[in-house]
Structure 1
Amino acid sequence: MLTEVLQFKSEAVPPIESTVAEAERERLEIQIAEEELKLRGYSLSASRAERLPSIDFVADYGQSGSTPAQSSVPTRNVGVRMNVPLFNMATKGRIDAAQSRRRQAELQLNDARMQVEEDVRLSLQTISTVAQQVKAAQQTVALADRELQMARDRFTAGIADNLEVINAQASLANARVAEIAALAQYKAAQINLAAALGSIESFKW
């Protein structure tokens, strides 16, 4: 039966905070935004480093003498050279541009996190609501089944006609259709939650 394929197992809705945290770890767009922010941070650091002084160690070794035929004396020179970049607009422009790109990456990461949280909240709310609908539909099926059994008993006892049985059968059929629809909605809600968590690949159908 389709109701057996679309199984329903009542489960407690997980806490929103831990669920959002899980989604932020798993969602691909969050991972991409985080890596982009790191990249922009490295680029900004590199641009800022252009303004910093640099130190070079220099060394020289040679021979000193009047002529090549005469005895020469070894010479050695060791020194330290400091380079101090002069302020220029080109460097400032690169730093400003790198800062702007990093800020944009921060905004994109924040937007991605907000979207993920919204997706998770909506998915949890939906699955909770649909679970209640499934329970109500299953209760309706149980009641309709009891009504059908009672109608059959009355018909067998001769205190009711066949029309009551037919009506009870129709009510049970309608209740089962509603149950299947609710189960399908619950399965869809489970899929949406798995997608919101970034774990759709491991979803158990």
Structure 2
Amino acid sequence: MPLSLDDAVELGLKHNLQLNLARQNQHLVHGEVLTVANNLLPSLTAKASTGTQEINLAAMGFKPTSLESFGISPSQFKTIVKVSTTSAELDMNQQLFNVPAYYLYRAAQKADRVASMTELNQEGAVTIDVASQYLLALADASEIENAQALVKADEVAFQQADDSHNHGVGTNLDVLRARVQLQTEQQVLISAQDTFSKDKIALNRMMGIPADQELTLTDKAPYNEFSELPLDEAKRIAYSRRKDLLSLEAQLEVAERAGKAVKFERLPSLSFNGHYGVIGETTGMYHGDFSAQGKLSVPIFEEGQLRGENEVAGAQTDALREQIASLRITIEEQIRTAMLDVDSSAQLVKVARSNVDLASEELDQASQRFTAGVDDNLAVVRAQAALAQAQTQLISTLYQYNVSKLMLARNTGVVESQYKTYLGL
């Protein structure tokens, strides 16, 4: 399965469990907002019914003889009657004045934004996790390539030492050194291949695909010098884009509006309800049926509850303000730390590249001296080990450099949308 960094991030955003749970929570909160909004809207309900009843008047205590006083003959009156009726109604309920309900609706709107910010924050976490794991797998692949190249070089060196020994020019010690170096590099290659396989399994898990899915990483480890970002600009971006900060600010607005709802619970509320319909015999005449009622509710003796709710709301608001102030300080600290990491890792990459060049030159010179018979292969073995260490260090520092840039993007709140820009892809 060919897989680019974009593909990996897209799969991670699609299948990550925590992110999907955050999306479902956002839908849940949105549904609750609609429910709260419905309390302020007119409620109309239409009802219709029809039915037939057969009533035994005698069983209910009615005596036909009692009609004689009205000049009605009891024989003309049936004690068992059958009645069919049909009715249709339209009921309406409407809040005319309810300030607490209005502020609760406004609070619910902000709660919807809190859920949305939580979802976006989780997207950022998934993006950096998947991207970092992809970069780690690329580093593993580079380590394998270097180890394979060194194994081939060691095989050539071993063959040269063996040939020299067979021709009586070299020593058995040279052959032993070359063999040990070859086997050591083969061990490094086996270990690198094992690490690469395990890191790809971890990447599969993050992307939500089967663990046995083979991957072909189509991108190469990026290296692009990051343009310096002024601290004030980074802070400005972070304060407007960090989802955890925006979520806390939205929570503060929720608490403030809920506090206003508590404050205005002392006000009276006014509502209206009524209905209009028709009712009558199914086959006969129908007559209008209606009712209209206004309701005024005034809280009189609820001061203890109202003061308690107001104190709770005030405590929540104060706590959120303190959390926001603390998080803003933490964000500045994180940005400063990330900038230091980016700068230091960039310098380490330059040094590591220089070390690889120097180690390659040293190995080349040592190999030429050994081939010419000027020196034994001890210098070659040492140069090969130094080159292997330098290449491993370069791969490690390059990975650290890219991850530090991702962390800076994460700390400024733009990693989910600008990770490629920060990596230089």
TM-score higher than 0.5 here? yes
Please show how residues 138-177 of structure 1 align to structure 2 within 5 Å.
Answer: 138-177=353-392
Question: How far does the alpha carbon of each residue in 1:121-156 deviate from its partner, in whole angstroms, 9 at most, with x for none?
Answer: 222222222222222111111111111222234345
Equivalent residue of 1:5, what SS? Answer: coil
Within the candidate set 239, 245, 250, 1:35 is matched to: 250
Question: What amino acid is aligned across from residue 2 of structure 1 in structure 2?
Answer: S
Give the CA deviation at 1:112.
2.4
2: distance between equivalents of 1:97 and 1:167? Answer: 71
1: distance between equivalents of 2:307 and 2:370? Answer: 94
Question: How far does the alpha carbon of each residue in 1:89-124 deviate from its partner, in whole angstroms, 9 at most, with x for none?
Answer: 655554444333221221122222223222222222
Taking structure 2 as the reference length, the TM-score comes to 0.36
Structure 1 residue 2 corresponds to structure 2 residue 142? yes
Taking structure 1 as the reference length, the TM-score comes to 0.68
Within the candidate set 208, 233, 239, 1:24 is matched to: 239
Pick closer, same or farther for the CA change 1:136–1:93 going to 2, 3 Å.
same
Equivalent residue of 1:160, what SS? Answer: coil
Cross-structure match for 1:191 = 406
1: distance between equivalents of 2:378 and 2:306? Answer: 91
Give unmatched runs, 5+ long, in structure 1. Answer: 55-84
Cross-structure match for 1:112 = 327
Equivalent residue of 2:253, what SS? Answer: helix
Within the candidate set 86, 99, 121, 2:336 is matched to: 121
Cross-structure match for 2:44 = none
Give the CA deviation at 1:177.
1.1
Q: Is the 8 A contact 1:37 1:102 kept in 2?
A: yes
Q: Is the 8 A contact 1:148 1:165 kept in 2?
A: yes
Pick closer, same or farther for the CA change 1:94–1:147 going to 2, 3 Å.
same
Cross-structure match for 2:393 = 178
Give the CA deviation at 1:158.
4.3
Structure 1 residue 134 corresponds to structure 2 residue 134? no
RMSD over equivalenced CA pairs, Å? 3.3
Question: How far does the alpha carbon of each residue in 1:64-92 deviate from its partner, in whole angstroms, 9 at most, with x for none?
Answer: xxxxxxxxxxxxxxxxxxxxx9xx66555
Count of residue pairs the alignment pairs up: 176
2: distance between equivalents of 1:25 and 1:2? Answer: 38
1: distance between equivalents of 2:305 and 2:249? Answer: 28
Question: What amino acid is aligned across from residue 101 of structure 1 in structure 2?
Answer: Q
1: distance between equivalents of 2:360 and 2:222? Answer: 19
Please show how residues 94-113 of structure 1 align to structure 2 within 5 Å.
Answer: 94-113=309-328
User: Quick check: 33-42 or 133-142, which moved more?
Assistant: 33-42
